[in-house]
């Protein structure tokens, strides 16, 4: 494979973010500056997905420069055999040879990591959590993931699943939180089923009979829709309870939010006011911040792998 070598693009990095509905890719230079990005819809078959990833990487390579690394961000984990597993929202890659097939095609090593870890890596390198000692990162979107970093380094845990708070039960569940729902992980009542985008959509629809996605509900709340405001208020309380359990366990100095629901500004004021009702001490100084790189954090973190 041929590369155009340009001094200002030496050691460029490619990051690919595999989502439930799209593939996003970016190439950044050695200083983290974006050179080019690509995006396309996800196909449900493994063969089509693999082909799309290859095509995006090749298009990014054509932007020029000596590629220092290629990293892939997935909505799941890598097991001890190097296979993606537990990709609830992208099942075609589960137990597949995705990384091996890509490495064979490109003739080089390719890094792969969980999407929440990639998201947090981006934010601790040049985002909202630079120079913070203990950071918990959260993705609130189609799924709900988490990751932990200490002194600028990711902590993966013995089994590579540290931070998976989304598949624990919602703590201090109340009647207005609703019945326990089935989660893609195979259990009922997971935090993810109460805090993903679909949960907010269902909450709003149960009152108004109107079906809006999370972004539209956020816009409606900003426009003064009382039903949207109350739905987000209930969502914020559930989020506050879930995060209070994280604070009680880890006591991070900052929690960074990413994913589509992190764009709802209301929660940054509401959640810290509520979580002190559930934390061991009421004097909580943990910061709650929105990711600086927003939806780009996953692919930027993959590039930094």
Q: Give the model's pLDDT for residue 10.
A: 58
Model confidence at 81, pLDDT cuts 50, 70, 90, reads: confident
Pairing of strands 254-258, 134-140: parallel
Query: What is the dotted CATH code of the domain comprising 119-296?
Result: 3.30.420.40
The Cβ of residue 275 has, within 10 Å, a number of other Cβ atoms equal to 26
- 239-277: pLDDT as tens digits: 999 999 999 999 999 999 999 999 999 999 999 999 999
Tracing tokens 């009421």 back to the chain, one arrives at 282
Percent of the chain, pLDDT > 90?
A: 77
Inform me whether the pLDDT recorded for 233 exceeds 90: yes
Pairwise pLDDT comparison (90 vs 56), residue with the higher score: 56
Chain-centre distance of CA 178, in angstroms?
25
Q: The whole model's pTM is what? A: 0.90
Q: Do domains 7-109 and 119-296 have the same CATH topology?
A: yes
Tracing tokens 């041929």 back to the chain, one arrives at 2
Q: List Cβ<8 Å contacts ≥24 apart for 204-210.
A: 204/228, 204/231, 207/231
- Structure token pair of residue 26: 């970016």
Strand 153-155: give its sheet, edge to edge: 153-155, 144-150, 134-140, 254-258, 287-290
Pairwise pLDDT comparison (116 vs 10), residue with the higher score: 116
Q: Which fold has domain 7-109?
A: Nucleotidyltransferase; domain 5 (3.30.420)
Chain-centre distance of CA 262, in angstroms?
10
- 270-296: pLDDT as tens digits: 999 999 999 999 999 999 999 999 989
Q: List Cβ<8 Å contacts ≥24 apart for 169-174.
A: 170/194, 170/238, 170/241, 170/242, 171/241, 171/242, 171/244, 171/245, 171/278, 172/241, 172/278
**What are the domain boundaries of the chain?**
7-109, 119-296
């Amino acid at each position: 494979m041929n590369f155009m070598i340009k001094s200002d693009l030496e050691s460029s990095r490619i990051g690919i973010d595999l989502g439930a509905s799209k593939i996003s890719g970016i190439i950044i230079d050695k200083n983290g500056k974006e050179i080019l990005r690509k995006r396309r819809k996800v196909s449900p078959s493994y063969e089509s997905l693999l082909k799309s990833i290859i095509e995006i990487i090749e298009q990014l390579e054509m932007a020029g420069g000596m590629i220092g690394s290629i990293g892939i961000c997935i909505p799941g984990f890598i097991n001890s055999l190097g296979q993606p597993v537990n990709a609830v929202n992208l099942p075609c890659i589960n137990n597949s040879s995705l990384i091996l097939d890509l490495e064979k095609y490109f003739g080089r090593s390719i890094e792969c990591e969980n999407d929440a870890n990639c998201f947090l890596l981006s934010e601790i390198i040049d985002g909202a959590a630079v120079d913070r000692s203990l950071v918990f990162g959260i993705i609130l979107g189609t799924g709900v993931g988490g990751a932990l970093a200490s002194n600028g380094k990711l902590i993966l845990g013995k089994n590579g699943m540290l931070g998976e708070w989304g598949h624990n039960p919602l703590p201090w569940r109340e009647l207005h939180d609703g019945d326990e729902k089935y989660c893609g992980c195979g259990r009922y009542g997971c935090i993810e089923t109460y805090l993903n985008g679909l949960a907010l959509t269902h909450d709003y629809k149960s009152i108004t009979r109107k079906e809006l996605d999370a972004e539209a509900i956020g816009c409606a709340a900003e426009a003064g829709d009382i039903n949207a405001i109350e739905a987000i208020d209930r969502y914020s309380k559930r989020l506050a309870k879930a995060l209070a359990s994280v604070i009680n366990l880890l006591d991070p100095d900052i929690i960074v939010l990413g994913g589509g629901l992190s764009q709802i500004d209301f929660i940054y004021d509401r959640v810290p006011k509520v979580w002190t009702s559930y934390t061991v001490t009421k004097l909580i100084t943990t910061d709650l911040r929105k990711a600086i790189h927003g939806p780009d954090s996953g692919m930027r973190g993959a590039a930094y792998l």
